[in-house]
Amino acid sequence: MEIKERKKQIFVFLDTNLLWNETFDFNIFATTFLNQIITLRGFFKKEIKNTQIKIIFPQTVVRERYKQKFDVVSRDIEHTLRTLEILKKNKKFNNEKTIEILKDIKNNLHDTIESDGKKFLLKHDIIITPECPQEYFEKIIEKAYNKETPFKNKKSDGFKDAILWYSIIDYIKNENLGNEDSIFFFTQNKFDFDSESNLKEFKNLTKKDLRIIDFKLKPMQIFESENREFLKYTLKEAQTVKITDIEIKYSEFEDNLIIEKILANPFPSNLVSLISRSNIERQTCKKIVKERIIQLLKNFNFNIDSEKIRLNFVQLPFIENVVVCLTYHTSAQYYDIDHIEIEFENGDECEVEPKNENTMIWSESITYYDDEDFTIFQIDPKIHEGVINIINKLIDRELAPDNVRYTILD
């Protein structure tokens, strides 16, 4: 009888802030970050037979995400209802059935969001921890009383973070872990959890170490934050994979060469943050970058035949300016993105349209005032971040937020 070899496990826990989006749709969980982790897990399932990645959401994260999405969509429906009531009062709108339908949608909104969320979790095989057991509440109260992390600095959401923390501990305690198994927790608020006492407590209760990863969703830093530690760890696990192609995507600006992506096929992640990009000149770029990539992969013990690897350089024109052109809808008092104009350093221009994206922006999210020469628009930072993410997806590039400005079409 053949004995099935036990797979090494990589546990990946996610905080709510890595699942947050403010789009007016029913995409409850899918963010760029989560999609990258799901893709990486699929790669391991196909290529790395002795290691598997498990993606786990603490129960409190799921609840908070449902509440966040409910608040966003409910607010927008309420805004539309108020607008229709005003139009009705002024005899500009007389379709009572539409108002009743919207009210019915609002009344059933939470169930709809939860139903869509459960379908996503089931489809993508994402694990949910059980509720945090009551046995940990005495520890939570003690932390709150002593103002220990996550209650440090009188955090209003310390209780939620404490429940999240002990949910992870309880889940790991009840798993049959091997010595080689690893546990990662991704968050945008590392220091809400990362303290010497917390990590010591985790080790005492689970007999395992926890690595807390600080992931910042800033457009030009997404691959830096992806992050080096986790990227290096997963590369070490992928040593048996034969690298056949290396693709380098770069742009030139003045005397600088900006390397944006380094993809080593079939490893599904950008390696650019692991490569030194200093002292790269146009004349010797291909030779130096290839040498550095080969050396990096050799450092991770990949079996590299540098003569047989295909090296593909793809020049991307430097993005000099981006203008988001908005259309204002007077009847419902909101903006949406008509199209996006992109200007490149070489003089080329292009337009893209977010046809499959919901780009509704309520009027209160935008303020503007007239300067001597032109009108200046200011947009809510969270909305701006969402717009940047939409553009990044459309053009498969990473934009600097300061290069994007807005205009309103007549």
Tens of pLDDT, residue by residue over 244-295, are: 888 888 877 666 677 878 888 888 888 887 887 776 676 777 778 888 888 8
Q: CA dist 84 to 24, 94, 274, 333, Å?
A: 18, 9, 54, 11
Token couple for 65: 């995400």
For residues 380-407, give the mean pLDDT: 81
| Predicted confidence (pLDDT) at residue 222 exceeds the cutoff of 60 | no
Supply the pTM of this predicted model.
0.78
Cβ neighbours for 270, distance < 8 A, ≥ 6 positions apart: 223, 226, 261, 262, 263
Q: What is the pLDDT of residues 360-389, one digit of tens each?
A: 787 888 877 665 555 666 788 888 888 888
For residues 381-400, give the mean pLDDT: 80
For residues 51-56, give the mean pLDDT: 95
Q: Label residue 2 by pLDDT band (50, 70, 90).
A: very low
Q: Which of 26-30, 165-169, 310-314 has the highest mean pLDDT?
A: 165-169
What was the pLDDT predicted at 220? 38
Residue of 112, 76, 116, 84 lying closest to 100 (CA atoms): 84
What was the pLDDT predicted at 201? 93
Q: What is the pLDDT of residues 82-94, one digit of tens each?
A: 888 888 888 777 7
Residue 315's φ and ψ, nearest 5 degrees, are -85, 125
What was the pLDDT predicted at 273? 79
- Please give the residue that has the higher pLDDT: either 193 or 275: 193
For the chain, the C-alpha Rg in angstroms (whole number) is: 25
Residue of 410, 405, 407, 393 lying closest to 352 (CA atoms): 393
For residues 216-226, give the mean pLDDT: 47
- Taking the C-alpha atoms of residue 176 and residue 226, their distance in angstroms, rounded to an integer, is 28
Amino acid identity at 27:
N
- Taking the C-alpha atoms of residue 165 and residue 60, their distance in angstroms, rounded to an integer, is 10
| Predicted confidence (pLDDT) at residue 350 exceeds the cutoff of 70 | yes
Q: CA dist 178 to 6, 207, 236, Å?
A: 9, 11, 18
Q: What is the pLDDT of residues 200-213, one digit of tens each?
A: 999 999 999 999 98
- Taking the C-alpha atoms of residue 56 and residue 156, their distance in angstroms, rounded to an integer, is 25
For residues 323-343, give the mean pLDDT: 85
What angle do helix axes 158-173 and 59-89 make, rounded to 10 degrees?
Answer: 140
For residues 170-177, give the mean pLDDT: 93
What was the pLDDT predicted at 43? 92
Amino acid identity at 175:
E
Cβ density class 375-399: b for 16+ within 10 Å, e for less: eeeebeeebbbbbbbbbeebbebbb
- In the DSSP assignment, the letter for residue 187 is E
